Chains A and B, each alone.
Chain A
Amino acid sequence: MSTAATERGDGLADGVGVAARAAALTKAYGAGETSVTALDAVDVAIARGRFTAVMGPSGSGKSTLMHCLAGLDTVSAGQVWLGGTEITGLSERELTRLRRDRVGFMFQSFNLLPTLNALENITLPMSIAGRRPDQEWLDRVVDALGLRDRLRHRPAQLSGGQQQRVACARALVSRPELIFADEPTGNLDSRSGQEVLGMLRDAVDRLGQTVVMVTHDPGAAAVADLVLFLADGRIVDRMPQPTAEAVLERMKRFDGLRKN
Chain B
Amino acid sequence: MLRATLRSFLAHRGRMLLSALAVLLSVAFVAGSLIFSDTVSRTFDRLFESSAADVSVEPRQEFTEAQGIYGGLIPVVPAALRADVAGVPGVAAAHLDVEVRNITLVDRRGEAVGPTTGPPTMAVNWQRTGHSVVELAGGREPRGPGEILLDRDTADRKDVAIGDTLRVIAAPGSFEARVVGFAAFTTTNPGATLIFMETPAAQEKLIGRPDAVTSVSLDAAPGVSDDELKQRVAAAVGPRFSVKTADEQAKTATEELGGFLDIIKYVMVGFAGIAVLVGIFLIVNTFSMLIAQRTRELGLLRALGADRRQVQRSVLTEALLLGLTGSTLGLVAGVGLAAGLIRLMGLLGMNLDAAEMVVGWTTPLAAYVVGLGVTFLAACLPARRAARVSPMAALADAEVAGVGRPLRLRAVAGAVVAAGGAAALVACARNGDTSTASLWLVLGIVLTLIATVIAGPLLVRPVIRVLGGAFPRVFGSVGAMSQRNALRNPRRTGATASALMVGLALVGGMSIAGASMTKSVDNEIDRSLGADFVVGGSSFGPFPREITDRVRDVPGVGLTVRQRYATARLTLPDGERVRTPLGAYDPELDKVFKLEYAAGDTAAALAPGHVGLQKEYADKHGIRVGSVLPVQFADGRRARLTVGALSSQESESFNAGGGFYLGIGTLERYQPGGQDSAVMLNAADGTGTEGLRSRLETALETYPQVAVRDQADFKDLVRQQISVLLYLVYALLGLAIVIAVLGVVNTLALSVVERTREIGLLRAIGLSRRQLRRMIRLESVVIAVFGAVLGLGLGLVWGVALWRVLALEGLRAFAVPWGTVLAVVLGSVVVGLAAALLPALRAARLNVLAAIAHE
Do B766 and A99 touch (CB < 8 A)? yes
How far apart are the CA atoms of A114 and B487 in the complex, in Å? 12
Min CB–CB distance B398 → chain A (angstroms): 13
Q: In the bound complex, do residue B481 and residue A116 qualify as a contact, i.e. CB atoms below 8 Å apart? A: yes
Chain A residue with the shortest CB-CB distance to B770: A93
Q: Which of chain A's residues have a CB closer than 8 A to the CB of B477?
A: 120, 124, 127-128
Closest-by-CB residue of B relative to A70 is: B764
- Complex: chain A residue closest to B761, CB-CB: A111
B184 at the interface (CB under 8 A from A): no
Residues of A within 8 A of B768 (CB): 93, 96-97, 100
User: In whole angstroms, how far apart are the Cα atoms of A111 and B767 in the complex?
Assistant: 14
Interface presence of A129 (CB below 8 A): yes
Does B748 lie at the interface of the complex (its beta carbon under 8 Å from any beta carbon of A)?
Answer: no
A72, B761: Cβ atoms under 8 Å? no
A112 to chain B, nearest CB (A): 8
Cβ of A170 under 8 Å from chain B: yes
Does A92 touch B at the CB level, under 8 Å?
yes
The CA-CA distance from A93 to B769 in the complex, in Å, is 8
Which residues from A are CB-within-8-Å of B380? none
Q: Does B758 contact A (CB under 8 A)?
A: yes
Interface assignment of B762: CB less than 8 Å from any CB of chain A: yes
Q: Could you say which of B484, B767, B848, B852 contacts A128, with CB atoms under 8 Å apart?
A: B767
User: Which one of A97, A99, A115 lies within 8 Å of B764 (CB-CB)?
Assistant: A99
Q: Which chain B residues border A156 with CB–CB below 8 Å?
A: 399
With a cutoff of 8 Å between Cβ atoms, the chain B residues found around residue A111 in the complex are: 757-758, 760-761, 852
Shortest CB–CB separation between residue A197 and chain B, in angstroms?
22
Chain A residues with CB under 8 A of B765:
99-100, 104-105, 124-125, 128, 170
Question: Which partner residue on chain A sits nearest B483 by CB separation?
Answer: A115
Q: Are A105 and B849 in contact (CB under 8 A)?
A: no
B761 touching A107 by the CB < 8 A rule?
Answer: yes
Residue interface mask B741-785, A partner, CB < 8 A = 1: 000000000000000011011111111110100000000000000
Residue A67 lies at the interface, judged by CB distance under 8 Å to chain B: yes
Contact with A along B467-500 (1 / 0, CB 8 A): 0000000001110110011011000000000000
Q: Is the CB of A127 within 8 A of B848?
A: no
Q: Which residues of chain A are within 8 angstroms of B849 by Cβ–Cβ distance? A: 67, 72-73
Question: In the bound complex, how far is the Cα of B478 from the Cα of A156, in angstroms?
Answer: 21
Chain B: number of interface residues, binned into ranges = 20 to 34
Q: In this assembly, does A9 line the interface, its C-beta being within 8 Å of a C-beta of chain B?
A: no
A116 neighbours in B (Cβ, 8 Å): 480-481, 484
Q: How far is the CB of A134 from the nearest CB of chain B, in Å?
A: 17
Are A115 and B478 within 8 A (Cβ)? no
Interface positions, chain B 574-615, Cβ under 8 Å from A, are none
Task: List the B side residues contacting A99 at CB < 8 Å.
Answer: 764-766
In the assembled complex, the CB of A119 is this many whole angstroms from the nearest CB of chain B, namely 12
In the complex with contacts A111-B852, A115-B481, A115-B485, A128-B757 CB distance below 8 A:
no
| A232 at interface, CB cutoff 8 A | no
Query: Interface residues of A toward B: which range?
Result: 20 to 34
Q: Which of A101, A105, A128 contacts B478 (CB 8 A)?
A: A128
Nearest neighbor of A111 in chain B, beta-carbon distance: B761
Q: Answer yes or no: A113 CB below 8 A from chain B CBs.
A: yes
Q: How far is the CB of B527 from chain A (nearest CB, A)?
A: 58
Interface centre among A105, A116, A124 (most CB of B within 10 A): A124
| Chain A proximity mask over B185-210: 1 for CB below 8 Å, otherwise 0 | 00000000000000000000000000
Within 8 Å CB of B848, what residues of A? Answer: 72
Chain A residue, CB-CB nearest to B848: A72
B interface: dominant SS: helix
Cα separation A130 to B763 with both chains bound (whole Å): 15
Chain A residues whose CB sits within 8 angstroms of the CB of B481 once the complex forms = 113, 115-116
Most buried by A among B399, B478, B762, B765: B765
Query: Which residues from chain A contact B399 at a C-beta distance below 8 Å?
Result: 114, 156
Min C-beta distance of B772 to chain A, whole Å: 10
**A72 to B764, Cβ gap below 8 A?**
yes
Taking CB as reference atom, which chain A residue is nearest B485? A115
* A70 to B399 CA separation, bound complex (whole angstroms): 29
Q: How far is the CB of B578 from chain A (nearest CB, A)?
A: 65
User: Do residues B852 and A92 form an inter-chain contact, with CB atoms below 8 A?
Assistant: no
Q: What distance in Å separates the Cβ of A89 from its nearest Cβ neighbour in chain B?
A: 18
What's the nearest-Cβ distance from chain A to residue B273, in Å? 37
A120–B762 CA distance with the chains assembled, in angstroms: 13
Residue pair B761, A129 in contact (C-beta under 8 Å) = no
Interface of chain A residues 111 through 153 with chain B (CB within 8 A): 111, 113-116, 120, 124-125, 127-130
> Contacts A96-B763, A101-B766 known; A115 to B488 CB distance under 8 Å?
yes
The distance in angstroms between the C-alpha atoms of A144 and B74, with both chains bound, is: 100
B768 nearest in chain A by CB position = A96
How far, in whole Å, are A128 and B766 apart by their CA atoms in the complex? 7
CB distance from A206 to the nearest CB of B (A): 23
Q: In the complex the two chains form, what is the Cα distance from A177 to B485 in whole Å?
A: 31
B751 to chain A, nearest CB (A): 12
Q: Are A125 and B484 in contact (CB under 8 A)?
A: no
**B488 to chain A: which residues have CB within 8 Å?**
114-115
With a cutoff of 8 Å between Cβ atoms, the chain A residues found around residue B764 in the complex are 70, 72, 99, 105
Chain B positions 123 through 161: 1 when the CB is less than 8 Å from some CB of chain A, otherwise 0:
000000000000000000000000000000000000000
Which of B484, B757, B771 contacts A115 (CB under 8 A)? Answer: B484
Query: B758 touching A113 by the CB < 8 A rule?
Result: yes
A96 to B773, CA, bound (A): 14
Establish whether residues A128 and B761, one from each chain, have CB atoms under 8 Å apart when the complex forms: no
- Contact assessment for A128 and B769 in the assembled complex, using a CB-CB cutoff below 8 Å: no
Q: How far is the CA of A116 from the CA of B483 in the complex (A)?
A: 11
Q: Residues of A contacting B761 with CB < 8 Å? A: 105, 107, 111, 113
Instruction: Return B516 CB to nearest CB of chain A, in Å.
Output: 43
- CA gap between A109 and B851 in the complex, in Å: 13
Distance A113 CA – B766 CA, assembled complex (angstroms): 14
Task: Please tell me if the beta carbons of A128 and B771 are within 8 angstroms of each other in the complex.
Answer: yes
- Chain B residues whose CB sits within 8 angstroms of the CB of A127 once the complex forms: 476-477, 480
B846 to chain A, nearest CB (A): 12
Task: List residues of chain A with CB within 8 A of the CB of B769.
Answer: 92-93, 96
CB distance from B752 to the nearest CB of A (A): 15
B760: chain A residues at CB < 8 Å are: 111
A124: B residues at CB distance < 8 A: 477, 762, 765
Contacts of B484 in A (CB 8 A): 115-116
Contact residues in B for A104 (Cβ distance below 8 Å): 765
Interfacial chain B residues near A115, Cβ < 8 Å: 481, 484-485, 487-488
How long is the Cα–Cα vector from A104 to B768 in the complex, in angstroms? 16
Q: Which residues of B contact A120 (CB under 8 A)?
A: 477, 480
Q: Is the CB of B480 within 8 A of A107?
A: no
* Assembled-state Cα–Cα distance A116/B487 (Å): 12
Please pick, from B480, B757, B766, the residue contacting A129 in the complex, using a CB distance under 8 A: B766
Cα distance A67–B767 when bound, in Å?
17
> Do residues A107 and B852 form an inter-chain contact, with CB atoms below 8 A?
yes
- Among B485, B487, B760, B766, the one with the most A-chain Cβ atoms within 10 Å of its Cβ is B766
Distance from A248 Cβ to chain B, minimum over Cβ atoms (Å) = 28
Q: Which of chain B's residues has its CB closest to A93's CB? A: B768
Residues of B within 8 A of A170 (CB): 765
Question: Contacts A67-B849, A115-B481, A170-B765 given: A130-B476 contact, CB under 8 Å?
Answer: yes
**Whole-angstrom CA separation of A115 from B486 in the bound complex:** 10
Instruction: List 5 extra interface pairs beyond A111-B758, A124-B477, CB under 8 A.
Output: A99-B765, A107-B852, A109-B757, A114-B758, A124-B762
Q: Taking beta carbons and an 8 Å cutoff, which residues of A are in contact with B?
A: 67, 70, 72-73, 92-93, 96-97, 99-101, 104-105, 107, 109, 111, 113-116, 120, 124-125, 127-130, 156, 170
> Which 9 residue pairs spanning A and B have beta carbons closest together?
A100-B766, A127-B477, A115-B484, A111-B761, A99-B766, A96-B768, A125-B765, A128-B767, A73-B849
12 A-B residue pairings within 8 Å (CB atoms): A72-B852, A92-B769, A99-B766, A105-B765, A114-B488, A114-B758, A115-B481, A115-B484, A115-B485, A120-B480, A128-B765, A128-B766
